[in-house]
A and B are shown apart, each in its own frame.
Chain A
Amino acid sequence: MEIMLSVFVLTALAILGFTAYVLLNFGAKEPRHRYRDLFLAIYGFTLITMVVVGLFAEWHIVFPWQELTAFYAVYGFAACVFLIYFAKGLRLWLPKEEDYYEKKEGM
Chain B
Amino acid sequence: MIQWLHPGFILIFGAFLIPLFRGKWKQGYLLILPAAALIDVILMKMGVFGDIPISTWRLPFLEYELIFGRVDKLSFIFGLIFTLAALIVAIYALNAKSSVEHMSQYIYVGSALGVVFAGDLITLYIFWEIMAIASTLIIWHGGTDKARRAGFRYIMWHVAGGIILLAGIITYIGNTGSVDFNAFNLGSNSVYLPSLLIFIGFIINAAVPPLHAWLPDAYPESTVVGTVFLSIFTTKTAVYALARGFEGFDVLIWLGALMVVYPIFYAVLENDLRRVLCYSLINQVGFMLCGIGIGTALSVNGAISHAFGNILFEGLLFLCVGSVLYRTGPAKCTELGGLYRTMPLTTAFCFVGAASISAFPFFTGFVTKSMVIDATAGLGMAFVFLLLQLASAGVFHHAGIKVPFFAFFAEDANLNARDPPFNMLLSMGIAAVLCIFIGVYPYPLYQILPYPVVFEPYTAPHMIGQLQLLLFASLAFVVLIKSGLYPPEQRKINLDSDWPFRIAGAKFMRFVEGPLMSFAAWMDSNLKKIAADFSAYGEEKEERILIGVSVLLGLLFLASYLIIELIYGWIA
Known contacts A83-B393, A96-B493, A62 near B377 by CB under 8 Å: yes
Q: Are B472 and A76 in contact (CB under 8 A)?
A: yes
Known contacts A84-B486, A95-B269, A104-B502, A59 near B461 by CB under 8 Å: yes
B383-426 interface (Cβ within 8 A of A)? 385-386, 389-390, 393-394, 397, 401, 404-405, 408-412
Q: Are A81 and B460 in contact (CB under 8 A)?
A: no
**How many residue pairs between the two chains, A and B, have CB atoms under 8 Å in the bound complex?**
190
Q: Are B355 and A15 in contact (CB under 8 A)?
A: yes
Proximity bits, A61-85, B CB within 8 Å = 1, else 0: 0110000001111111101111110
Known contacts A3-B460, A62-B377, A83-B265, A26 near B481 by CB under 8 Å: yes
B456-509 interface (Cβ within 8 A of A)? 458-461, 463-478, 480-481, 485-487, 490-495, 502-503, 505-506
Tell me whether A38 is interfacial, beta carbon within 8 Å: no
Considering the chains assembled together, what is the distance between the CA atoms of A27 and B389 in angstroms? Answer: 28
Tell me whether A41 is interfacial, beta carbon within 8 Å: no
Tell me whether A60 is interfacial, beta carbon within 8 Å: yes
- How many whole Å from B311's CB to the nearest CB in chain A? 23
B interface, by DSSP: helix, strand, loop or mixed?
A: helix
Known contacts A53-B464, A72-B468, A77-B472, A24 near B265 by CB under 8 Å: no
Tell me whether B245 is interfacial, beta carbon within 8 Å: no
Chain B contacts of A22 at CB under 8 A? Answer: 401, 405, 474, 477-478
Tell me whether B58 is interfacial, beta carbon within 8 Å: no
Q: Are B473 and A58 in contact (CB under 8 A)?
A: no
Tell me whether B528 is interfacial, beta carbon within 8 Å: no
Q: Are B380 and A72 in contact (CB under 8 A)?
A: no
Q: Are A97 and B492 in contact (CB under 8 A)?
A: yes
Known contacts A27-B405, A73-B472, A11 near B362 by CB under 8 Å: yes
Considering the chains assembled together, what is the distance between the CA atoms of A53 and B476 in angstroms? Answer: 21
Q: Are B461 and A76 in contact (CB under 8 A)?
A: no
Chain B contacts of A105 at CB under 8 A? Answer: 502-503, 505-506
Q: Are B468 and A104 in contact (CB under 8 A)?
A: no
Q: Which residue of B has the minimal Cβ distance to A65?
A: B382
Q: Are B405 and A106 in contact (CB under 8 A)?
A: no
Chain A contacts of B410 at CB under 8 A? Answer: 26-27
A interface, by DSSP: helix, strand, loop or mixed?
A: helix
- How many whole Å from B269's CB to the nearest CB in chain A? 5
Known contacts A11-B361, A26-B405, A87-B487, A98 near B492 by CB under 8 Å: yes
Tell me whether B127 is interfacial, beta carbon within 8 Å: no
Q: Are A83 and B264 in contact (CB under 8 A)?
A: yes
Query: How many residues on B have C-beta within 8 angstroms of the other chain's C-beta atoms?
Result: 68
Q: Are A50 and B265 in contact (CB under 8 A)?
A: no
Q: Are B464 and A23 in contact (CB under 8 A)?
A: no
Q: Are B389 and A28 in contact (CB under 8 A)?
A: no
Known contacts A26-B481, A70-B468, A91 near B409 by CB under 8 Å: no
- How many whole Å from A52's CB to the nearest CB in chain B? 10
Q: Are A77 and B487 in contact (CB under 8 A)?
A: no
Query: How many residues on A have C-beta within 8 angstroms of the other chain's C-beta atoms?
Result: 59
Tell me whether B108 is interfacial, beta carbon within 8 Å: no
Q: Are A98 and B469 in contact (CB under 8 A)?
A: no
- How many whole Å from A3's CB to the nearest CB in chain B? 5
- How many whole Å from A86's CB to the nearest CB in chain B? 6
Considering the chains assembled together, what is the distance between the CA atoms of A75 and B465 in angstroms? Answer: 10
Known contacts A22-B474, A84-B486, A87-B268, A101 near B502 by CB under 8 Å: yes
- How many whole Å from A92's CB to the nearest CB in chain B? 11
B268-325 interface (Cβ within 8 A of A)? 268-269
Q: Are A79 and B269 in contact (CB under 8 A)?
A: no
Known contacts A15-B355, A22-B474, A84-B487, A76 near B393 by CB under 8 Å: yes
Known contacts A47-B472, A62-B377, A80-B473, A26 near B464 by CB under 8 Å: no
Among B409, B468, B485, B494, the residue within 8 A (CB) of A54 is B468
Proximity bits, A28-55, B CB within 8 Å = 1, else 0: 1100000000000000001100110110
Q: Are B467 and A11 in contact (CB under 8 A)?
A: yes
Q: Are B503 and A4 in contact (CB under 8 A)?
A: no
Considering the chains assembled together, what is the distance between the CA atoms of A70 and B465 in angstroms? Answer: 8
Tell me whether B140 is interfacial, beta carbon within 8 Å: no
Considering the chains assembled together, what is the distance between the CA atoms of A3 and B149 in angstroms? Answer: 57
- How many whole Å from A101's CB to the nearest CB in chain B? 6
Known contacts A84-B486, A87-B268, A100-B493, A50 near B460 by CB under 8 Å: no
Chain B contacts of A87 at CB under 8 A? Answer: 265, 268-269, 487
Known contacts A15-B355, A62-B378, A105-B506, A76 near B470 by CB under 8 Å: yes
- How many whole Å from B504's CB to the nearest CB in chain A? 11
Among B378, B409, B412, B494, the residue within 8 A (CB) of A24 is B409
Tell me whether B22 is interfacial, beta carbon within 8 Å: no
Chain A contacts of B264 at CB under 8 A? Answer: 83
Binding site for B on A (CB under 8 A): 3-4, 7, 10-11, 14-15, 18-19, 22-24, 26-29, 46-47, 50-51, 53-54, 57-60, 62-63, 70-77, 79-84, 86-88, 90-91, 93-98, 100-101, 104-107
Binding site for A on B (CB under 8 A): 149, 264-266, 268-269, 337, 340, 351, 355, 360-362, 377-378, 380, 382, 385-386, 389-390, 393-394, 397, 401, 404-405, 408-412, 458-461, 463-478, 480-481, 485-487, 490-495, 502-503, 505-506, 510
A-B contact pairs, 15 of them (CB 8 A): A4-B458, A22-B478, A23-B409, A47-B471, A51-B468, A58-B460, A58-B461, A73-B472, A76-B469, A79-B389, A83-B264, A91-B269, A94-B495, A95-B490, A105-B506
